[in-house]
Amino acid sequence: MEIKLPNPKLIGDKSLEECIYERESVRSYKDKKIEIDKISQILWAAQGKKGHKRTVPSAGATFPLEIYITLKNKGYFHYNFEKHILELITDDDLCKKLTEASGNQHSIAEAYLNVIICAIFERTTQRYGQRGVRYIFIEVGHCAQNIHLEAVSLGLSSVPIGAYDDNKVKEALDLKRRIEPLYIIPIGYPK
């Protein structure tokens, strides 16, 4: 199953400066669904297309990042940036497994949306060798900051999570061997 996402808006309701000022880590969320247009906007900010380029800079245009999401009680999806769609992987709710793989951080279980930023390292290391690893870590920071600022602009809150067991996250999300999880970002309406 595929979910066609609405086209992103290029003008928001808040200035970039307001979003930077208001951004903070929030770990508790209302039990409230996030609208599909807001999910679309967040995913576009993370890795969306803008012509033949993307919303996040990438060393040598190697684009190692892959974006996956969980939606509370809706399933687990891959974001296909080329088509701007969500591709359903499973309709199982993986939030409990993802929470357990992350040291039981409750924000993952509470969030309606969890964005999991992953990377396929060889896309970049084939070109840059071991230095490509550094470039990927820089790129994931660009991507995560876009997500956090977009969330603020949409009236949502988020928190960056890097404390998790890599192997347990890979198992919970059934990630292929070469796909490495780098960041989990729970997103929801703040309490």
User: For the chain, what is the mean pLDDT?
Assistant: 96
Quick check: helix, strand or coil at residue 138? helix
Q: Is the pLDDT of residue 51 over 90?
A: no
Q: Quickly count: other Cβ atoms within 10 Å of residue 84's Cβ.
A: 17
Single-letter amino acid, residue 168:
K
Q: Is the pLDDT of residue 50 over 90?
A: no
What confidence tier does 177 reach under pLDDT thresholds 50, 70, 90?
A: confident
Beta-carbon contacts of residue 53 (< 8 Å; ≥ 6 apart): none
pLDDT in tens, 71-100: 999 999 999 999 999 999 999 989 999 999
Q: Which domains does the chain have, with CATH numbers?
A: 13-113+122-188 (3.40.109.10)
Single-letter amino acid, residue 148:
H
pLDDT at 3: 94
- As a whole number of angstroms, the distance between CA 184 and CA 191 comes to 20
pLDDT in tens, 132-165: 999 999 999 999 999 999 999 999 999 999 999 9
- For tokens 């930077």, the residue is 20
Integer CA distances (angstroms), 136 to 80, 119, 121, 145, in order: 19, 8, 7, 14
Q: Is the pLDDT of residue 68 over 90?
A: yes
